[in-house]
Structure 1
């Protein structure tokens, strides 16, 4: 979420209208409530509830022929931290469905995405909520969240390797410029590569304290511009088809 702080787009930029949502309003509300509980009471992690939620998300996505998501579907609530985690689970699982991943693996992937930012509970609020770019020192502190989340959750629960990899490595990039370990292409599992792409996409298309919301098209262009340097192009293309661009205006959907 962090490297994109310096980019901004005009508030008047073109946006997109709705398509059918892939999860219900009740499920999204339940997901955001669960993530809020994770962040406000990090010592009372609701693992079983999280697994049930992710299982329901996967089952809903697999049970429909729809593999497209409205950009505005991802923006129906105000609290970025909570909706971001749910968005990533929906986006990542939908991409995984397109790649014909088996349901069990999709659930493990979705759980990792839902928990991916849990380590931010250990980051000072003045850094998390800073209305501007982080200093070098602040960014170094922020970068610790991936390792914090991995260490806390892997000790507390028997997470799958997929879930743990997503939590720990969702900021890695193919050229080794990511964090926390500077992994390169051959060292980054495909689940993590997808997580990195949907994480950055969702961050770019959100209104944040320090940046204006990007349009879908500009966010996709950002991903393609960095191409094989940071990302697997195949996964960007799948994301692009998951959220079509040929629409004229935003409107809210049913959730």
Structure 2
């Protein structure tokens, strides 16, 4: 028997998670809160129904999990209305970037079981990376349930120190953008070396995605895979001498991740 869910917000991330839950059979019943109704992709599924808001939920509806998947800037104006759903058997799972556990406790009460999670966009293809942190009211069974829900769209890791979520946001939350930028820059470098633009883009796209898949499937570490491509004195080594020098890729990424983590702390208040 699957669990009963209330999904508040069914945009890209909420929709990706709902896809995963339905495909895996995790959820036996999902009520989606969307002012415009259940998205067309899920409208014909008997396990999914819609509500325009918390006041329009079915009588007696007591979800196992309330998944908060609205934009962070919308959260403050709507979360207090969900306090009526707080009970020992319900856990609130937020995937809203930057919204702290303390901010939810201020609206829902300290007794509310709350899990703060940071997914990333590859969740849309079932290859996401999510890190989550629970508050003191979350039971072991609720941790396991949230892990199952988040695991439907990728890998899941847990931390107990919420302050680490700023670094998590900077590495995995924002990280896909860094990889896409790498593909952009590699394509432009190919053009600068004389390749036609369309071929340079094709080579960069296939190389970045293929290398990522190889890293995903391999039991070897990234350093070992890098060394396997690199012949001493060869072309790859010549490029790596530039990328790995004192002003190369590592210090640049250190600065980028630090800047993202700093901004995450600022947005969290």
Give the TM-score category using the shorter length.
under 0.3
Rg: which structure is higher? Answer: 2
Give the alignment's TM-score, normalised by structure 1. 0.27
The structure, 1 or 2, with the larger RCO (C-alpha pairs under 8 Å, 6+ apart) is 1
More strand by share: 2
More helix by share: 1
Give the alignment's TM-score, normalised by structure 2. 0.26
